[in-house]
């Protein structure tokens, strides 16, 4: 690095790591563009850190503080809170230790790529395991208009490839500001690659499709407390049903061919009387209803999406496959992510938490879904900004699968998203009403849908190659080409 940089005291290192943790939390929840800077203070703090324990602690602090921002505003109990925050912290420990072991050992080009490769690995790891709650940089920037051209990479690499671009931007800033001349030259090359990716996405946006369909999302705008009251009070339960029945009847009078309820919008028995169930389409209506229900049968409970044709004919259903740990342990999981065939197209319902992960939407589209529907209950988040990030995840799912996506929230945010990541209309938090719009059905498959996480494989192999070359050089006793983070 630039030899003119002053040596950092331990206090300064911890302060920089804390700043990086705050920036990551701000980016994930409040202001997406902060992601472009988020890990720059950490990279500075790691420079010259002699101790592995110090390195691990700096990384862990970043991940833990970022986790506090994300999970501290959720009310899912202490176990999930500390579990998620600790898991996020462990990923950044890995980030810091790998950076310490590999940076400065080979060529400046490898140093430039290293933070992005390691971040890609840790972001992918956050999609794996029972405590997985992936915090992704692509989710941070998905609603930033100026960075939208980068999203055009997602149909090819998945959203993970866009996160790699954000991490490259961090590395470009760090090496461009704090690097020596060779590192600054490669930072300029990296900046050129980022600009080329932006220009390519701007010039060649993803196709939108050519089979239009009118859709309507029904948002009841109800708080979770109203559902809690409904369990004990039949009048309160009737009010919930009446809310969705009234809004649905309004939707049937529009030109919509598909009407969608949010997750578990109605929790009263409905499927034992589908011809007369309140809110279900009657004979003479034109629209198919995709209803979010809490369905109970044979001593089991299902978080179910049911497709209902006019006259109450059941076309098919989908049961939530990936449930929330602990909170939804009482639910019976569905067998697979499979679309529902309807006159309105092959529908791919994804229920709430499932939209955070890429595998559900990829499987739905891979199995033939022509339109994605995210049915969510975000009322538990209140008016916290985490609903923005959940909505951004839906944007990523639309772009990487090349599908139009209607997101319908019990309390918001309800919006229609096209395959370029543009939102068409919105109902805000706790705002009852209908969102109407024109979507388009598509049957083709993006490269990412066909090939899956190949980008992670490529980045993983690149990281292994850097590690192998570093180990080989160390065994040969060769001096490193540049002063690395272990230097005094």
303: domain CATH number is: 3.60.110.10
Residues 151 and 246 in one domain: no
Residues 380 and 400 in one domain: yes
**Whole-prediction pTM value?**
0.91
Higher-confidence residue of 211 and 78: namely 211
| Chain mean pLDDT for the chain | 90
Q: Is residue 115 part of a domain?
A: yes
Per-residue model confidence as pLDDT tens digits over 118-129? 999 988 888 776
Q: Can you give the pLDDT at residue 486? A: 44
- The number of distinct structural domains making up the chain is 2
Per-residue model confidence as pLDDT tens digits over 9-66? 889 999 999 999 999 988 988 899 999 999 999 999 998 888 999 999 999 999 888 8
Q: Is residue 4 part of a domain?
A: no
Residues 401 and 268 in one domain: yes
Q: Is residue 485 part of a domain?
A: no
Q: Can you give the pLDDT at residue 454? A: 96
Residues 340 and 223 in one domain: yes
Residues 201 and 215 in one domain: no
pLDDT exceeds cutoff 50 at 181: yes
pLDDT exceeds cutoff 50 at 299: yes
pLDDT band at 478 (very low <50, low <70, confident <90, very high): low
Residues 171 and 91 in one domain: yes
Domain encompassing residue 156: 10-205+450-476
Residues 295 and 219 in one domain: yes
Q: Is residue 482 part of a domain?
A: no
Residues 272 and 339 in one domain: yes
Residues 191 and 258 in one domain: no
Q: Is residue 488 part of a domain?
A: no
Q: Can you give the pLDDT at residue 132? A: 58
Q: Is residue 410 part of a domain?
A: yes
Q: Is residue 2 part of a domain?
A: no
CA–CA distance, 320 with 295 (Å, rounded to integer): 11
Q: Is residue 176 part of a domain?
A: yes
Q: Can you give the pLDDT at residue 72? A: 47
Residues 294 and 431 in one domain: yes
Residues 163 and 228 in one domain: no
Q: Can you give the pLDDT at residue 268? A: 87
Residues 182 and 319 in one domain: no
């Amino acid at each position: 690095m630039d030899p003119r940089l002053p040596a950092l005291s331990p206090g300064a290192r911890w302060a920089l790591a804390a700043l990086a943790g705050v920036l990551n939390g701000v980016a994930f929840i409040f202001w997406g563009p902060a992601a472009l800077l988020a890990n720059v203070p950490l990279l500075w703090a790691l420079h010259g850190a002699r101790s592995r324990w110090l390195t691990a602690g700096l990384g862990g602090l970043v991940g833990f503080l970022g986790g506090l921002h994300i999970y501290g505003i959720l009310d899912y109990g202490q176990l999930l809170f500390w579990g998620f925050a600790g898991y996020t912290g462990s990923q950044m420990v890995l980030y810091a230790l790998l950076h310490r072991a590999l940076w400065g050992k080979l060529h400046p080009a490898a140093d430039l790529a290293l933070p992005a490769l390691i971040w890609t690995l840790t972001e992918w790891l956050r999609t794996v395991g029972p405590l997985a709650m992936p915090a992704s940089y692509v989710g941070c920037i998905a609603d930033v208009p100026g960075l939208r051209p980068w999203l055009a990479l997602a149909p090819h690499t998945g959203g993970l490839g866009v996160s790699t671009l954000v991490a490259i931007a961090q590395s470009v800033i760090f090496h461009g500001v704090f690097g020596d001349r060779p590192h600054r030259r490669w930072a300029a090359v990296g900046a050129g690659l980022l600009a080329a990716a932006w220009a390519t996405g701007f010039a060649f946006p993803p196709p939108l499709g050519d089979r239009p369909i009118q859709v309507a999302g029904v948002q009841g705008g109800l708080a979770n407390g109203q559902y809690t009251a409904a369990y004990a009070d039949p009048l309160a339960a009737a009010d919930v049903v009446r809310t969705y029945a009234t809004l649905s009847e309004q939707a049937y009078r529009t030109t919509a061919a598909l009407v969608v309820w949010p997750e578990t919008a109605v929790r009263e028995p409905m499927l034992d009387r589908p011809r007369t169930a309140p809110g279900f389409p009657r004979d003479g209506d034109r629209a198919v209803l995709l209803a979010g229900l809490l369905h109970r049968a044979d001593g089991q409970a299902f978080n179910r999406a049911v497709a209902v044709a006019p006259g109450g004919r059941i076309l098919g259903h989908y049961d939530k496959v990936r449930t929330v740990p602990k909170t939804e342990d009482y639910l019976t999981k569905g067998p697979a992510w499979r679309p529902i065939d309807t006159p309105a197209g092959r529908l791919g319902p994804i229920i709430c938490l499932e939209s955070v992960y890429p595998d559900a939407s990829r499987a739905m589209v891979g199995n033939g879904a022509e339109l994605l529907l995210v049915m969510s209950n975000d009322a538990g988040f209140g008016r916290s900004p985490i609903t923005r990030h959940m909505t951004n995840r839906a944007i990523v799912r639309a772009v990487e699968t090349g599908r139009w996506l209607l997101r319908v929230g019990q309390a918001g945010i309800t919006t229609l998203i096209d395959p370029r990541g543009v939102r068409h209309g919105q109902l805000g938090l706790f705002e009852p009403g209908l969102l109407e719009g024109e979507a388009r059905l598509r049957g083709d498959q993006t490269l990412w849908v066909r090939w899956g996480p190949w980008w992670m494989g490529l980045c993983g192999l690149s990281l292994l190659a850097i590690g192998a070359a570093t180990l080989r050089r160390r065994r040969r006793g060769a001096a490193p080409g540049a002063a690395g983070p272990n230097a005094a």
